[in-house]
Amino acid sequence: MKFHLLIDARAVQRNVDGISRFSLNVTRCIMKKRPDWKITALIGKDAAFHLENTGAEIIHDNSSRFSKRANRKLSNQIDEMAPNVLLNFSMAGPQSSVPTIVTVHDLMVLNLPCYFGDSILRNAFSRFLFKKALKASTSHASAIAVPSMTTKLDVIRTFQYATEKVFITGEGQALFDSPVKNRMERKDFFLYVGNARGYKNIPRFLTAYGRLWALDKNTPPLTMVVRKDRAYSYFRKHLDSNPARDNIKVVTHISDHDLRILYLSCKALLIPSVYEGFGLPALEAMATGAPVMASKSTALEEVVGETGILIDPYSVIDIMRGMAELSAAAPEKLIELGELGRKRSSLFSWEKTTDHFLEKIQELT
């Protein structure tokens, strides 16, 4: 009888975000490494096309990952299917009798005071509900996958019973062969890639950029790839009032091809988040040899290591310092930083991430 792996990929979105990218790449790698397995994927109908023609059995499921009623019903269905292991790419989901791996990408939903907006009551109530759902999911799970040591420590501090369950998978990037040989000439512009939610530190970042530009009009222009989500209007308020507004270009929809061009041609990537579970844009930039400015004391430091310019994300002055260093750096210095990052990027891959999952799956069976 074939080994049957059931994958809960309901977190995958039609328009691919970070969790979607993680889920899809690991799923594809598992299928490549274990062609003899039966793979079944639960995925929303609108996002199912991402896994078409992969050989996976697809079951459309648009139910909420955080709905107790939906997960109770799904648990019964999973018990009837009787897979060997359930791999859930979300931190919440069904609690069946099957050995289960849940994935906690980060705990910013619990640790950032304004994650759900400006309302104190809404934040408190939402955090209460999410923590309850996470506690139920992680306490039931056979194992808990996390992408970084930073997230592992967060999980252990929050759910002490989870200490022996947590294992680190790392992440990879699929935009480029890692490391990639960059034959493009780098241009004089900074790049930001990400959303505009609170953990991305946009207000301090834009304040720092505006002040640096006011002091030095030779500060490189800034291109910001920011998708339109619930935080976009808040981002526009900060952007439109910035003194360097004319020096900032915003892109809201971009193809992978155009994103590759930006990574390959930028002077440096700037990612001053106050919190990250991993920090995929940093790895994507490093794979091309682009220097990276990233935040200390976050998962970004695990990714970038000593190959980038590290800054204190809570200090506008220190963010300015990081950008000023990159702006004034000699071409040779930028090339040196880029080469160090390129070499370090080879430490991470979706294949290695998948191997960590496969080792854990084997332990559970």
Query: Are residues 162 and 31 both part of a single domain?
Result: yes
- The verdict on residue 179 lying in a domain is no
Residue 271 belongs to domain spanning:
190-345
**One domain for residues 131 and 195:** no
Tell me how far apart the alpha carbons of residues 232 and 241 are, in angstroms, rounded to a whole number.
14
In a domain, 180, yes or no: no
- Is the domain of 165 the same as that of 194? no
Together in a domain, 37 and 168:
yes
User: Based on the domain organization, do 44 and 154 belong to the same domain?
Assistant: yes
φ/ψ bin of 56: left (φ > 0), alpha (ψ from -120 to 50), beta (otherwise): beta
| Reported pTM | 0.92
pLDDT tens, residue by residue, 234-292: 899 999 999 999 999 999 989 999 999 999 999 999 999 999 999 999 999 999 999 99
Peptide bond between residue 99 and the one before it cis (omega within 30 degrees of 0): no
174 versus 100: which is more confidently predicted? Answer: 100
pLDDT digits (tens, 9 = 90+) for 341-361: 999 999 999 999 999 999 999
Q: Could you tell me the two tokens for 74?
A: 């799904």
273 & 224 share domain: yes
Task: Identify whether the C-beta of residue 75 lies closer than 8 Å to the C-beta of residue 90.
Answer: no
Same-domain check for residues 336 and 356? no
Using a pLDDT cut of 70, give the percent of the chain over it: 99
Dmax (CA) for the chain in angstroms is 69
| Amino acid, single-letter form, for residue 207 | T
Whether the predicted pLDDT of 183 surpasses 80:
no
CATH classification at residue 19: 3.40.50.2000
Give the pLDDT score at 281.
96
Query: Is position 181 within any domain?
Result: no
Q: What is the pLDDT of residue 115?
A: 76
Number of domains observed in the structure of the chain: 2
